[in-house]
Amino acid sequence: PRLVVVISGRGRNLQAIIQAIESGDLNAQIELVISNRSDAPGMQIARMAGLNCVCIEPKGFKRRDDFDRAMGARIAAARPDWVVLAGYMRILSSAFVQRFDGKLVNIHPSLLPRYKGLNTHERVLSNGDTRHGASVHFVTPDLDDGPLIRQASIAVADDDTPETLADRLMADVEQRLYPAALGDLIAGTVRFYDGVVWRDGQIQ
Ligand code: GRF
């Protein structure tokens, strides 16, 4: 199976996917890494791994739709089975989402449907939650709203700050969860069907 990974930042989820492929845990290949920022540290990770990478910056485009169409064309040319958003920090147009409908997935650092959007770690702490987590989900036109594929959680510690919580969530949850969720998708044990997630023949 062919993956295109779309990033904006540090690329720790990308790194985990690369490692899962290299270790044989994930049967896939990364055809292309796309970033909307030329200074994304994750691009260095992609280059070090010898992957094809391209940066498309929004400033060259007048409208969001034009940018998304250009990015969509690059992605489509790589003929992906799965388009993997890994820390991509722009909102996607619904035309883009529809173009890759059913093969577009994202990781979000919260136990969705709680805490859509930004600053999830801060909000978990300010609400006094005892657990925090991450979710891999199909992307639909509404932000952080699509059907869930996999979630996992950790305990919040009394002395956690947004930074310690975010770092622990990344290392203990996100970097394991994304390769595992992609494994589910590739194995066909999760299906996107009329907006319902099917796992092992059951509606979840
Ligand atoms: C992760 O926390 C991810 O869940 C969120 O953005 C962050 C990206 O980190 N969407 P990285 O670029 O994978 O290091």
pLDDT digits (tens, 9 = 90+) for 147-164: 899 999 999 999 999 999
- To the question of whether residue 89 is assigned a binding role by annotation, the answer is yes
- The Cα 46–Cα 203 span in angstroms is 36
- Give residue 186's pLDDT: 94
CA of 116 to the centre of ligand 1 (A): 14
Ligand 1: which atom is nearest the Cα of residue 108? 4
- Give residue 21's pLDDT: 98
Per 3-state DSSP, the chain is made up of helix, strand and coil in percentages (nearest 5) of: 35, 25, 40
CB proximity list for 167: less than 8 A, separation 6 or greater: none
- Give residue 120's pLDDT: 98
DSSP 58: G
The mean predicted confidence, pLDDT, of the chain is 93
Q: Provide φ and ψ at 34, rounded to 5°.
A: -115, 135
Question: What is the ipTM score, two decimals?
Answer: 0.97
- How many helices (H) and strands (E) the chain has is answered by 7, 10
Percent of the chain surpassing pLDDT 70? 93
- The Cα 56–Cα 61 span in angstroms is 10
To test the pocket of ligand 1, the residue of 6, 7, 12, 104 to mutate (highest count of ligand atoms within 8 Å of its CB) is 12
Domain range list for the chain: 2-110+133-153+171-203
Give the type of residue at 145. Answer: D
Global pTM reads: 0.93
Question: Per-residue pLDDT for 197 more than 60?
Answer: no
- To the question of whether residue 34 is assigned a binding role by annotation, the answer is no
Question: Per-residue pLDDT for 199 more than 60?
Answer: no
Strands 148-155 and 131-138, bridge-based pairing: antiparallel
- The Cα 56–Cα 152 span in angstroms is 32
Residues 67-86 pLDDT 10s: 999 999 999 999 999 999 99
Torsion of CA 175, 91, 165, 171, to 10 degrees: 10
Concerning whether 108 is annotated as a catalytic residue, the answer is yes
Ligand 1 pocket (Cβ < 6 Å) reads 7, 9-13, 42, 86-87, 107-109, 134, 170, 174
Using pLDDT thresholds of 50, 70 and 90, give the confidence band for residue 88.
very high
* CATH class as words, domain 2-110+133-153+171-203: alpha beta
Using pLDDT thresholds of 50, 70 and 90, give the confidence band for residue 192.
low
